[in-house]
């Protein structure tokens, strides 16, 4: 099947392109960019007034399979990703059993293949069972297909283990993704420690719990040369630390979630558990720092930390409720509304954040529309207005704080290997 996307604005930072071009896809690959005359046998899609970009990559999602298929499966997660404009996702290893072995990695890939929608790239565990004690068989997992290692959800507390992981990961040139949290300092808190936590009477989490680990990671990356990637960065000082480390040439990258650049702790009203996540929502000045980091290049990418939970796990008191929200089906509209429409970043920078950079970090060989590249493509309609409706989500879960929000700018078509896997119906 040959597919022609006609009349769209192609934005591809990997080729420094941002102009009106037709894009031809043949045999699952980009075969031409330019003014292309359609042939009768081709499928031609009019994408004028749309933005055509290399496929978006969400490098931080929880698909819950194996183990918690009541929250999400690889299939439902893939459907949510496709509807959210993502062509590739990297799934975290904190499943049950943990993805700390070649066998689980293969299982995930087999399920993803059967789902047959987006590309699923598993992240493997750093340590066996995420216990922070012994390294998992990283080489075996890489051979099976993992693209990063992380103990996400469980910080690697032991500095020696973190150091060894960074050293060892150099063999495979994969990033070590760190969930930065000093556990004793986080002190079983449930939200950011501030005047808001004081007023609500909810135990707070000191921002230092994140920042200390970010500082540690920059130091360990410097002495080992291993690539470290900070997951879901959330404080002003963490961003400042990464900015400084990058200036010194340290191999550090970081991601931010949409909720950390859109919401702050003052949005937690009436103990709504849809505003409970880890790291917690921070203050308004942290949100400002996230926006600055997004625009000045300190923050490399936007990742959702898509964390499905059942209704029961959220219908509890704030302190008892599970951490996390789902994000794949709202990330692009939120980014368009809060970053593009508010003129924080350019469209080309947004594509770097969603595609070029996560591709560079994970070395997936996607994230480009160069001739010959695999045709993973996201099409966005900047004029498309949506009202977030959790009941319409493809995800199995509904834990989302943005229900009812009106947003402008949404993915309208998702193409993986030249095949249209999602199309927005008006």
Partner 1 sequence: MPLRERHLLGIEDLELDEIELILNTSRSFKEISTRAIKKVPTLRGKSLINLFYEPSTRTRSSFEIAAKRLGADSINVNVSASSVSKGESLIDSGKNLQSMNPDIIAIRHTSAGAPHLLAQYCDSASIVNAGDGMHEHPTQALLDALTILDHKKSIEGLHVAIVGDIAHSRVARSNVLLLVKMGAHVCVCGPPTLIPAEFENYGARVTYHIREALQGADVVMMLRTQKERQKDVFYPSVKEYFALYGLNMKKMKWAKRSAIVMHPGPINRGIEIDPELAEAGYSVIFEQVTNGVAVRMAVLYLLLGASEETGL
Q: Which residues are catalytic?
A: 305
198 binds partner 1 (CB under 8 A): yes
The sign of the CA dihedral 240, 276, 190, 89 is negative
Q: Which is nearer to partner 1, 141 or 196 (CB)?
A: 196
Range in contact with partner 1 (rule: CB under 8 A) among 23-31, 123-131, 132-140, 195-203: 195-203
284 binds partner 1 (CB under 8 A): no
Question: How many residues are there in the chain?
Answer: 426
- Nearest approach in angstroms of CB 187 to partner 1 is 8
Binding-site size, partner 1 (CB under 8 A)? 20
Interface pick for partner 1 out of 37, 40, 199, 247 (rule CB under 8 A): 199
270 binds partner 1 (CB under 8 A): yes
- Nearest approach in angstroms of CB 206 to partner 1 is 9
Q: Roughly how many angstroms between the first and final C-alpha of the chain, as a whole number?
A: 25
Range in contact with partner 1 (rule: CB under 8 A) among 19-27, 100-108, 191-199, 402-410: 191-199
| Residue numbers 200-259 binding partner 1 by CB under 8 A | 200-204
Interface pick for partner 1 out of 72, 193, 300, 359 (rule CB under 8 A): 193
Q: Which is nearer to partner 1, 160 or 270 (CB)?
A: 270
319 binds partner 1 (CB under 8 A): yes
312 binds partner 1 (CB under 8 A): yes
266 binds partner 1 (CB under 8 A): no
Range in contact with partner 1 (rule: CB under 8 A) among 219-227, 234-242, 308-316, 358-366: 308-316
195 binds partner 1 (CB under 8 A): yes
265 binds partner 1 (CB under 8 A): no
- Nearest approach in angstroms of CB 111 to partner 1 is 30
286 binds partner 1 (CB under 8 A): no
Please provide residue 165's backbone torsions phi and psi, each rounded to the nearest 5 degrees: -60, -45
158 binds partner 1 (CB under 8 A): no
Range in contact with partner 1 (rule: CB under 8 A) among 111-119, 169-177, 311-319, 385-393: 311-319
Q: Which is nearer to partner 1, 312 or 387 (CB)?
A: 312
- Cβ–Cβ under 8 Å, residues 188 and 273: no
- Nearest approach in angstroms of CB 193 to partner 1 is 5
Q: Which is nearer to partner 1, 16 or 311 (CB)?
A: 311
41 binds partner 1 (CB under 8 A): no
Residues forming contacts to partner 1 in the complex (CB under 8 A) are 193-195, 197-204, 270-271, 312, 315-320
């Amino acid at each position: 099947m040959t597919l022609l996307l006609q009349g769209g604005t192609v934005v591809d930072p990997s080729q420094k392109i941002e102009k009106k071009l037709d894009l031809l896809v043949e045999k699952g690959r980009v075969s031409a960019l330019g003014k292309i005359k359609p042939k009768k046998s081709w499928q031609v899609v009019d994408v004028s007034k749309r933005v055509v970009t290399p496929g978006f990559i969400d490098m931080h999602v929880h698909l819950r399979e194996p183990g918690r298929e009541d929250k999400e499966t690889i299939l439902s997660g893939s459907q949510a990703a496709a509807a959210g404009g993502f062509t590739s996702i990297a799934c975290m290893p904190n499943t049950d059993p943990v993805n700390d072995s070649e066998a689980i990695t293969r299982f995930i890939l087999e399920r993803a293949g059967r789902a047959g929608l987006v590309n699923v790239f598993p992240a493997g565990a750093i340590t066996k069972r995420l216990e922070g004690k012994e390294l998992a068989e990283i080489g075996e997992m890489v051979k099976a297909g993992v693209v990063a290692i992380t103990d996400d959800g469980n910080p690697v507390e032991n500095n020696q283990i973190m150091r060894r992981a960074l050293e060892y990961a150099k063999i495979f040139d994969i990033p070590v993704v760190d969930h930065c949290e000093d556990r004793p300092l986080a002190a079983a808190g449930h939200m950011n420690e501030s005047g808001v936590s004081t007023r609500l009477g909810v135990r707070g989490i000191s921002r230092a719990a994140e920042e200390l680990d970010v500082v540690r990671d920059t130091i360990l990356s410097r002495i080992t040369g291993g690539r470290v990637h900070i997951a879901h960065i959330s404080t002003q000082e963490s961003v400042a630390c990464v900015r400084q480390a990058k200036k010194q040439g340290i191999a550090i990258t970081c991601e931010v979630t949409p909720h950390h650049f859109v919401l702050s702790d003052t949005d937690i009203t009436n103990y709504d558990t849809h505003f409970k996540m880890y790291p917690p929502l921070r203050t308004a000045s942290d949100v400002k720092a996230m926006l600055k980091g997004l625009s000045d290049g300190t923050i490399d990418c936007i990742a959702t930390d898509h964390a499905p939970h059942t209704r029961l796990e959220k219908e509890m008191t704030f302190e008892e409720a599970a951490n996390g929200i789902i994000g794949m089906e709202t990330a692009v509209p939120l980014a368009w509304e809060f970053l593009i429409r508010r003129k924080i970043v350019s469209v080309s920078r947004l594509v770097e954040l969603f595609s070029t950079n996560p591709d560079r970090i994970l070395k997936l060989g996607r994230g480009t529309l160069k001739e010959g590249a695999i045709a993973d493509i996201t099409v966005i309609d900047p004029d498309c207005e949506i009202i977030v409706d959790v009941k319409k989500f493809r995800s199995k879960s509904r834990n989302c704080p943005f229900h009812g929000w009106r947003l402008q700018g949404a993915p309208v078509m998702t193409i993986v290997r030249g095949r249209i896997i999602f199309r927005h119906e008006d």
